[in-house]
Amino acid sequence: MIYFEIPNFMIKRIYIVEEDSKLVYKKLVDNNLVSLTEDELNEVNKYLKRNRSSKYYSEKLNTIIASNPDINCYGDYLKSFLEYIESFIPPQAVDTFYQNLQTLKLELNLDVINEPITDYSIAERRDAAYYDIENNVLTIDKDNIKQYQKIAQKAKNPQEFFWQNFNHDLMHELFHVASSKQFDNHFICGFDYRPATHSYEENRGLTEGFTEILACYAVPIENEFACAYYIEELIINQLMVVIGPEVMLDSYFNNSGIKNMAEKLCEFDPDFEAALNLFELIEVNFNLDKDSPSNVLAQIEITILYYFEEKIEKDILNGVSKDDILKSIEDYKRFLVTRDILNIRQENTRKYDGIEGVLKNFYQFESDVRERLESRKV
């Protein structure tokens, strides 16, 4: 029988038994196992949760916030952002986040909110926000703040629209703070390593796309289609359906590049170099001129689709349920690049030659799988 003891507790021994397929705690009374009282159960749960790492991290985070006036002056507003990010970081990688927060400088430029909204030229627009790894400075661009204010005047709720977009940009940059470090004149941000020794170490597109996915989970925005890194988001979401989010989160926060993800892809095809080439193509596509004709994105999608097909084949052979397989297919379908998406983004569709072929291949694959599943004995 499974049991454990709690030092200096009113009950000498706690037993763990299965009832109705659930584990419950019991105590021995007159040689019979009986349920704990509500107070006793609360004490047991309190004891078992006493060492939860999140509590330790929050205490450390509070100490760091209090010691950095650039952060502390924003009070609970900024603390809520930092606690959210902290919850995403693997325990072995959280020290990078803490170290950067200790000396982080913030230039949020909120003082310009009260200045008149002036005309703004999109052609002159700089990065909405940026994080300077070398000097550990996070900046929200002043002109970007005024642009959000200007656009917000057309929104149903201008205040909500403004703060939603401002907070989203801030969260994006704070995720960069959590996933960046420097040493020996090298700078690492997420999956990106500079200066690179090998071409597969340059992964800014992958880094920005994944960071944007995390920021959208934290602070959803109505106009996600308009995000600068939306195409990268779609590519990465396709990848995550194949390899799962865990390996990407771990690689992102531990700054371990793309090798672990490439190895994960090798579970479906052992060609490691081919997996590395996929990530290199993602970076090439990210750096292409917006008006240059290209079929690079189509090749990326074709390659990921190949891995996805291999995954589904493996799932079928391993007896994964029909519902789970169809769910994977539906999830993957949501992240395919379509002409409708490009038109909404007002993209030059000539840059994305070949995406119709990707869609055709996917729908044929989906049809074949559904037919196989229907004929499979359940």
Give the pLDDT of residue 120. Answer: 47
Among 39-43, 208-212, 246-250, 323-327, name the one with the lowest average pLDDT.
39-43
Confidence bin at 378 (pLDDT 50/70/90): very low
Mean pLDDT of 292-299: 89
Confidence bin at 47 (pLDDT 50/70/90): confident
Q: How far is 69 from 368, CA to CA, in rounded Å? A: 60
Give the pLDDT of residue 125. Answer: 45
Instruction: Give the strand order in the sheet containing 2-4.
Output: 2-4, 14-19, 22-29, 32-35
Q: What is the four-CA torsion angle of 53, 82, 78, 175, rounded to 10 degrees?
A: 180
Q: Residue 5: pLDDT above 50? A: yes
pTM of the entire predicted model: 0.82
Nearest to 324 by CA among 373, 376, 254: 373
Give the pLDDT of residue 78. Answer: 93
Strand partners, 66: none
Report residue 31 as tokens: 């040689």
Q: Residue 157: pLDDT above 80? A: yes
Give 306-315 contacts, CB < 8 A, sequence gap 24+.
306/269, 307/242, 307/265, 307/268, 307/269, 308/238, 308/241, 308/242, 308/332, 309/365, 310/268, 310/269, 311/242, 311/268, 312/369, 314/268
Q: Residue 50: pLDDT above 60? A: no
Cβ atoms of 215 and 228 within 8 Å: the answer is: no
Mean pLDDT of 91-114: 94
Q: Residue 287: pLDDT above 80? A: yes
Average pLDDT, whole number, for the chain? 89
Give the pLDDT of residue 124. Answer: 45
